[in-house]
Structure 1
Amino acid sequence: MKILSIHEGHDPNVSFLTEDTLVHIEQERISRIKHLHNNKSKKVIEKLIKDFDFDVIVSSMTENKDDVKIYTEFEDEYIPQNKQIYISHHLAHAAYVYYTRPEKIDKCDILAYDGWGMETDRYFYNESKKLIDTSTFGLGLLWELFSLRFFNKMHQEGKIMGMVAYGVFNKSIYKKYEDALNILQKLKITTDVNIVNEAKEVLKNIYYIYKVEDIAHTLQKFSENKTIEYLKKVKSSKTLLISGGIGLNGYINQKINSLYDEVYISPATSDSGVSVGGALLVANKRLPKPAYIGRQQNITENTLGIIKQLNLTHKKFNYDYIADKIIQGKIIALYQGHSESGPRALGNRSILADPRSGVVKEYINKYIKHREWYRPYAPAILEEEVSNWFEDLTTSPYMLKIAKYKKGKGELVAGVCHKDYTGRVQSVSKNDNLKLYLLIETFFKRTGIPILLNTSFNIQEPIVDTPVDALRTFAKSNLDLLILEDYIIEKNNDRFIISNS
């Protein structure tokens, strides 16, 4: 069966599934525009529908089937009614995390919750797979209101989380968030402007009275407490699966560990993975390795043509050479294989650096990523070393848990240790990403540190997707070296040195 699954709205994406392959395409990787909205992916969908004879086409935008029209402008011509299947948005979220857990599980709780939705922002399934709650939570909307107020646009929750460590808890702010949440939980439709405005009015004064970092810190603590309170009421299993945008909040995910034996979140937990959930649900098919299911583009003659225009010098590639460059303070970009699914770069589209000095973090923020000074970077750590470095953590393969460093460890890796002595951890195994694992292992043998700084390979735009994206971003940046599949491209003053491995 050939299935095309479509997600519209913000972060539009499509997945196409055959008997043995699933490919997931996030529209922003093609358009090069972050958090694209609505029908900007129409041309991609139209071409797919024209070129491939899909058996089923799945849509999962809202909770109300009557609201759904799959590209109505060409629906009759390209999509016969008998091929269309509608799945509710939060069911697709739940299906995504359920079908992508590494091992099949019969009994688990599933929490699908995000910023907002058309009718609700939350589904909760108990261990009997029964949907027991669809009430509005409202937490995600509080983060969206913060994002709009301070950054004048949505989807800036990552920046807010970066502030958390610099603030302190404030009871008065906490009380205001209590009042605002009580108002938002009246919502039947989360686009009810009157109720949202009522909540905004409650919060209005805090933005003028208190420091922004204290508001961020208190909102984080409030969100953790409310999530724990809710889960204590509905918990029915020892395992919890989380999906939805708030699943990107690593502080909350780590806190929940105290309630469950296992807390699992898949890499594209935001709306960027909704089309994957829709496809897997319709096919009733598991995908135990969901991290690297984006597009893969080999080095073509066109790419080689671009490279040949540069001055080239060949060296034999080896991990020791790359590790030496990192130890010398060079900033490395790594491009290989299929692109990552979701917002975290996990070693196929990554920027890597020596984590031992805080100076490297400041340099990357200011001169490479051109972003806020306070934002932290992730420690990519050998999986077997996680428990030696972090408290209450054994694995975090998708960089979705924020854990405390053990005493005396954070100081050794100042480049990936946030102000509150935490790190947004990526545990790396040989099975998940061999090249990244061997590179960290080589660095470990040289330095005694089983960690590299890891951040996404992008500069003020979506993560690079193609070899040409990688070359373009590398050429205009202050990056020192690019590993491009089987090539090493190195800057040497105004020249490039290409090494073929």
Structure 2
Amino acid sequence: MSEAILGISAYYHDSAAAILVDGKIVAAAHEERFTRKKHDASFPINAAKYVLDEAGVDFNDLTAVAFYDKPYIKFERLLETYHAFVPKGLTSFLSAIPVWIKEKLFMKRMLMEEFAKLGDKKVQVLFPEHHLSHAASAYFPSPFPEAAILTVDGVGEWATATIGHGKGNQITMLKELRFPHSIGLLYSAFTYYTGFKVNSGEYKLMGLAPYGNPAAEQTKEFKRKILEELVDLKEDGSILLNMDYFNYATGLRMAHDKKWEKLFGLPRREKEAELTQEHMNLALAIQQVTEDIVLKLARHAKELTNSKYLVLAGGVALNCVANGKLLSSEIFEDIWIQPAAGDAGGALGAAQAAWYIWKNNERDIVSGKDSMRGSYLGPEFTNKDIEKTIQRYGAEYTYFEDFNELAKKVAEILSEGNVVGWFQGRAEYGPRALGNRSILGDARNAEMQKKMNLKIKYREGFRPFAPSVLEEEIKTFFELDRPSPYMLLVRPVNETRRTAEPENYNDLALYDRLYHLRSDVPSITHIDYSARIQSVNKETNPRYWELINEFRKLTDYGLLVNTSFNVRGEPMVLTPDDGFRCFMRTEMDFLVLGNYLFDKKAQKSLQNDTNWQEEFELD
């Protein structure tokens, strides 16, 4: 009889569920995609029901449920932190402790009440540590027989970063950095100070950093002040933070605004306020410091393990600029990053820790291939589901019996400068759209970045877009010698494709630099001539590969602009209904749901539709 283990992450942010059957990853999904609440922290009841159904497993037949951290140790950390910082933090204490005493301290009981909605049997519940869940999610699905493991995030129970070693079916934790000293929370403090939302806007801070002027004295001064006043960075990559400047340990904010203003000579940017060059230089300074920390941690991991390979997880592992620098440093022969590196991935890691470490099962590795199945692990929908959406909205469409004919038509539509919503197959697990819930455009089009940001995503114009490139065409466009399937590496665009910078490039205003034609694929070329690359493999995603290949035949360019199928503040679309409504609420030109093609011009407006800006809290 098959053995199945359900993994759960919940109650902080990005709740998710994942399931293994006989050690094979069968399904995984974020709760936010079902509830339409971005970063939903509630128990992932919908995601759990989905993965059980996808696996054909009854809850009562599970071998175990693995929860991604140890709640009692987290509560211990909370109490000890408040005690250490007395009398600071009374306000925070009074708001946090009653919730813990009433609910989270009795986490096991809360979980049992949720599990009762899934089945009536008392199933074995396991609680691996938070960073062990991250480490397991990084190592066990990787293509490596052994590897150094680096996990870096805000905070788990006590640990904020760990170095481990994976060998066979075991993980040995070698070192950890402890709260309140945290690389993730340091980066989040700068996210907060530059006016973005913590646990959401870190991507924006990373996207803003290239607009900083690396040659400017101000940037160098900001970096000097970070390293002299805020962070004591050790040679092994560990850090000590000057907690006089930070408020997250005991307060309701990330940082002490007045102290930061005095230090940097720059007031905290208000939400949605204008971005100045000072903010860009500050973003670049903290990005550079983060990269320095990650590289030192990696070197220390190499010293401790002597491994040829490195695997990464935790929220900081989503910093794809740092990942690109790590790859090019050649500290390790190869690196692999868990595509669901944040807390959602903890659900998968918890299940894998149970399967390999608790059950002592052997790893079955396919040489050169990870076991994530392209991270296409979410729900899939049928023609019948699409037809229900068509009927609900009275939508006009063209149906293609032959997918190849559809791919040719959509390639033509894209080459004419149109933006297409692309909805196919199983939804992605992790924060990146990888060609199944994507919005697509022509990378050659100089106006595409502006159009997609302002008229489709309704977000800041500076936000960069990623290319999806045929795996066979990577070297044609980028300085990268291997696949990058999960959009987690930033690498330079080939010099032969670049155009010369105007004089005083770094002194130009943000949007003057942004709209300078940097290469022959301007809509995916960042301001520093780099790109966040997703390579597309014919076996892993044949439909998406076919579309890009048809575009290549038509234009001689085997790549497209790819961004997640959602508007600002909304989780990525999950269902055909989500997709159609997002299509109609934006200035997207065409929509593809499976083999159905929709032209915006032929559609009636949605009746009694809510305003997406009221429905979704802006991130």
TM-score, normalised by the number of residues in structure 2: 0.73
Of 416-425 and 177-186, the range deviating more from structure 2: 177-186
* Paired position in structure 2 for 1:485: 594
Detail structure 1 runs of 4+ shifted over 6 Å in the superposition.
Answer: 46-51, 79-82, 194-201
Q: Does 1:148 align with 2:192?
A: yes
Rounded to whole Å, the distance in 2 between the matches of 1:159 and 1:93 is 23
Rounded to whole Å, the distance in 1 between the matches of 2:354 and 2:567 is 37
Q: Does 1:304 align with 2:413?
A: no
Rounded to whole Å, the distance in 1 between the matches of 2:49 and 2:542 is 37
Report the 3-state secondary structure (helix = DSSP H, G, I; strand = E; otherwise coil) of the residue aligned with 1:251.
helix
Larger radius of gyration: 2
* Paired position in structure 2 for 1:134: 176
* Paired position in structure 1 for 2:474: 386
Closer, same or farther: CA 307–81 of 1 in aligned 2, 3 Å: closer
Report the 3-state secondary structure (helix = DSSP H, G, I; strand = E; otherwise coil) of the residue aligned with 1:182.
strand
How many residues are treated as equivalent by the alignment?
Answer: 492
Closer, same or farther: CA 113–439 of 1 in aligned 2, 3 Å: same
Report the 3-state secondary structure (helix = DSSP H, G, I; strand = E; otherwise coil) of the residue aligned with 1:108.
strand
Rounded to whole Å, the distance in 1 between the matches of 2:74 and 2:378 is 31
* Paired position in structure 2 for 1:59: 67
Q: 1:292 aligns with which of 376, 383, 390?
A: 376
Shift of 1:299: 3.1
Closer, same or farther: CA 221–51 of 1 in aligned 2, 3 Å: same
* Paired position in structure 2 for 1:5: 7
Rounded to whole Å, the distance in 2 between the matches of 1:493 and 1:82 is 52
Shift of 1:365: 0.5
Rounded to whole Å, the distance in 2 between the matches of 1:48 and 1:315 is 30
TM-score, normalised by the number of residues in structure 1: 0.90
Q: Does 1:255 align with 2:330?
A: no
Rounded to whole Å, the distance in 1 between the matches of 2:299 and 2:67 is 33
* Paired position in structure 2 for 1:227: 294
Contact 1:331 1:480 in 2 (8 A): yes
Rounded to whole Å, the distance in 2 between the matches of 1:35 and 1:66 is 20
Report the 3-state secondary structure (helix = DSSP H, G, I; strand = E; otherwise coil) of the residue aligned with 1:151.
coil
The one-letter code matched in structure 2 to 1:2 is A
* Paired position in structure 2 for 1:211: 278
Which consecutive residues of structure 1, in runs of 5 or more, have no partner in the other structure? 497-501
CA RMSD of aligned residues (A): 3.0
Contact 1:97 1:277 in 2 (8 A): yes
Rounded to whole Å, the distance in 2 between the matches of 1:348 and 1:197 is 36
Q: Does 1:122 align with 2:161?
A: yes
Contact 1:92 1:281 in 2 (8 A): yes
Deviations 1:349-368 (A, max 9, x none): 01111100220110111100
The one-letter code matched in structure 1 to 2:184 is G
Shift of 1:320: 1.8
* Paired position in structure 2 for 1:282: 354
Rounded to whole Å, the distance in 2 between the matches of 1:152 and 1:351 is 24
Shift of 1:486: 2.0
Rounded to whole Å, the distance in 1 between the matches of 2:136 and 2:413 is 43
Rounded to whole Å, the distance in 1 between the matches of 2:381 and 2:453 is 29
Q: Does 1:158 align with 2:207?
A: no
Alignment of 1:278-427 (within 5 A): 278-284=350-356, 287-300=371-384, 303-308=386-391, 309-313=394-398, 317-410=405-498, 411-427=519-535
Deviations 1:281-338 (A, max 9, x none): 212366342510112222336x414314234455664322111111111111111111
Shift of 1:201: 6.4
Report the 3-state secondary structure (helix = DSSP H, G, I; strand = E; otherwise coil) of the residue aligned with 2:447.
helix
Which consecutive residues of structure 2, in runs of 5 or more, have no partner in the other structure? 76-104, 234-238, 268-276, 357-362, 365-370, 499-518, 606-619
Q: 2:128 aligns with which of 76, 87, 91?
A: 87
Rounded to whole Å, the distance in 1 between the matches of 2:601 and 2:46 is 41
Alignment of 1:172-211 (within 5 A): 172-178=221-227, 179-182=229-232, 185=240, 192-193=249-250, 203-205=260-262, 206=264, 208=266, 211=278
Contact 2:450 2:461 in 1 (8 A): yes
Shift of 1:391: 1.7
Shift of 1:99: 1.7
Deviations 1:57-92 (A, max 9, x none): 111134855857545246278487761111111111
Report the 3-state secondary structure (helix = DSSP H, G, I; strand = E; otherwise coil) of the residue aligned with 1:469.
helix
Deviations 1:448-498 (A, max 9, x none): 2111000001112010011111111112221111111121222235459xx
Rounded to whole Å, the distance in 2 between the matches of 1:113 and 1:319 is 40
The one-letter code matched in structure 2 to 1:151 is G
Shift of 1:56: 0.9
Deviations 1:200-235 (A, max 9, x none): 765343261770000001111111112212322331
Q: Does 1:33 align with 2:142?
A: no
